[in-house]
């Protein structure tokens, strides 16, 4: 299901290759005296793309058919960039690639990780094509992650703060600075947007529906990759372990396991937005609001809105998982289970705790700008960035 939806999205985007990216000039909206104005880095979700990808010049991931959000926000006085990480890779691989783009270095996936997962230790060199000019404790960044981009930025923050004991043990003095830790203060804030912090039941439903043709988890994941790979920008590595792909970390079991390795860093401000675009029925189940939800999400939303069952790892998916945005369960997008959290209060914004905004009405692509139901999301991001700049 998830793979078919992604393939359909990419097929639709191909129809808009002549789309103009012109944006009408507007008066700057940056607050007059911001407390900070650190750089903003936006990270896409599964099968997404960013500024390093050619498809971004056709249809920008951030803004979609409504226009390039990065260009708009930069015109308003913010400093915004969109990263390009592996569209189908694990949160670990994506975090390593994001670090290399931000630091202007060659991607180092880590000796221990790469040997265990069956792929090369080193990747692309960004020393000549660095995404941003400066990044350190004085030149902090704000990270925003949509969908699987949420896990990506959370893991990057964890590694910057605490590093990786396994990688330090495996490489000693040859350890990448990403895995040495001690750089928590290089990140000012994290904002997640419709991110499946605790996984999505869509994958559990897919797995149960494909039992007849996929008798093992390995066969199921390989089947999902067959659907996603043709529209992704990177081919799978033949010897790479299936646990090192996004589908593993997006599953409920995989996401919960990932959460056990990611802490909420005390000095970082965390914000989250969950979405929903469904209505509760008389029997308690949920159905998509078809007039407001992209049609490609209707089927998955309907199934997620009534699914009861257990994951392969034994986690029970009950009625609390029924509300959804078409691809991600609303409960999963609010905050990582067991992480410190509080309802957002503009008079009490605290670091080291998830400041959770009220659920937003919109489907999974709402915060991208939608696809066929183009929405103007520019005011939303101007408000969010102004809020972050104004934290005292």
Strands, DSSP E only, in 251-390? Answer: 269-273, 275-276, 278-280, 286-288, 309-310, 316-317, 341-343, 354-356, 360-361
* DSSP codes of every residue in 270-299: EEEE-EE-EEE-TTS-EEE-TTTS-GGGHH
Instruction: Summarize pLDDT for 171-226 with one digit per residue, the tens.
Output: 998 999 999 999 999 999 999 999 999 999 999 887 666 443 444 433 433 443 33
At residue 281, the pLDDT reads 97
Measure CA 302 to chain center: 23
Q: Helix (H, G, I), strand (E, B), or coil: what is residue 185?
A: helix
Provide the domain count of the chain.
Answer: 1
pTM: 0.88
Mean pLDDT, residues 236-253 taken together:
86
Mean pLDDT, residues 289-305 taken together:
96
Taking 70 as the threshold, does the pLDDT of residue 377 lie above it? yes
Instruction: Summarize pLDDT for 113-130 with one digit per residue, the tens.
Output: 999 999 999 999 999 999
* pLDDT bucket at 373, cuts 50 / 70 / 90: confident
Angle between helices 252-259 and 201-209 (to 10 degrees): 140
At residue 231, the pLDDT reads 36
Which is it for strands 360-361 and 275-276: parallel, antiparallel or unpaired?
A: parallel
* pLDDT bucket at 26, cuts 50 / 70 / 90: very low
Mean pLDDT, residues 224-229 taken together:
37
What percentage of the chain exceeds 70 in pLDDT? 84
Taking 50 as the threshold, does the pLDDT of residue 27 lie above it? no
Average pLDDT, the chain: 88
Integer CA distances (angstroms), 158 to 100, 162, 170, 334, in order: 16, 6, 19, 19
Instruction: Summarize pLDDT for 148-164 with one digit per residue, the tens.
Output: 999 999 999 999 999 99
CATH of the domain at 236: 3.40.50.1820
Nearest to 258 by CA among 205, 301, 195, 189: 195
* pLDDT bucket at 239, cuts 50 / 70 / 90: confident
Residues 294, 385, 99, 203, CA torsion sign: negative
Domain that includes residue 78, residue range = 2-389
């Amino acid at each position: 299901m998830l793979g078919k939806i992604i393939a359909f999205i990419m097929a639709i985007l191909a129809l808009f290759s002549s789309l103009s990216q012109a944006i009408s000039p507007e008066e700057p909206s940056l607050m007059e005296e911001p407390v900070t104005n650190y750089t903003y880095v936006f990270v896409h979700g599964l099968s997404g793309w960013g500024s390093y990808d050619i498809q971004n010049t056709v249809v920008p991931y951030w803004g979609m058919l409504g226009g390039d959000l990065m260009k708009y926000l930069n015109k308003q006085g913010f400093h915004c960039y969109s990263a390009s990480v592996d569209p189908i890779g694990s949160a670990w691989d994506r975090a390593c690639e994001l670090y290399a783009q931000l630091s202007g270095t060659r991607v180092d996936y880590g000796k221990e990780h790469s040997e265990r997962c069956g792929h090369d230790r080193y990747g692309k060199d960004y020393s000549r094509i660095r995404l941003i000019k400066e990044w350190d404790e004085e030149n902090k960044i704000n990270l925003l992650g949509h969908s699987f981009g949420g896990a990506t930025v959370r893991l990057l923050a964890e590694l910057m703060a605490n590093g990786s004991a396994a990688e330090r043990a495996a490489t000693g003095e040859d350890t990448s600075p990403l895995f040495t830790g001690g750089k928590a203060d290089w990140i000012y804030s994290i904002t997640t947007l419709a991110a499946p912090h605790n996984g999505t039941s869509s994958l559990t439903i897919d797995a149960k529906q494909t039992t007849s043709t996929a008798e093992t988890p390995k066969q199921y994941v390989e089947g999902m990759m067959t659907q996603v790979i043709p529209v992704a920008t990177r081919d799978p590595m033949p010897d790479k372990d299936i646990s090192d792909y996004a589908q593993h970390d997006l599953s409920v079991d995989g996401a919960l396991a990932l959460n056990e390795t990611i802490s909420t860093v005390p000095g970082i401000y965390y914000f989250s937005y969950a979405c929903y675009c469904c209505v509760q029925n008389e029997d308690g189940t949920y159905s998509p609001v078809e007039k407001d939800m992209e049609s490609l999400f209707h089927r998955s939303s309907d199934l997620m809105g009534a699914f009861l069952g257990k994951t392969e790892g034994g986690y029970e998916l009950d009625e609390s998982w029924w509300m959804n945005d078409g691809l991600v369960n609303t409960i999963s997008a609010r905050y990582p289970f067991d992480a410190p959290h509080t309802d957002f209060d503009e008079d009490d914004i605290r670091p080291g705790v998830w400041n959770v905004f009220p659920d937003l009405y919109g489907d999974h692509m709402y915060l991208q700008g939608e696809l066929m139901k183009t929405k103007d999301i520019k005011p939303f991001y101007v408000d969010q960035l102004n809020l972050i700049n104004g934290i005292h």
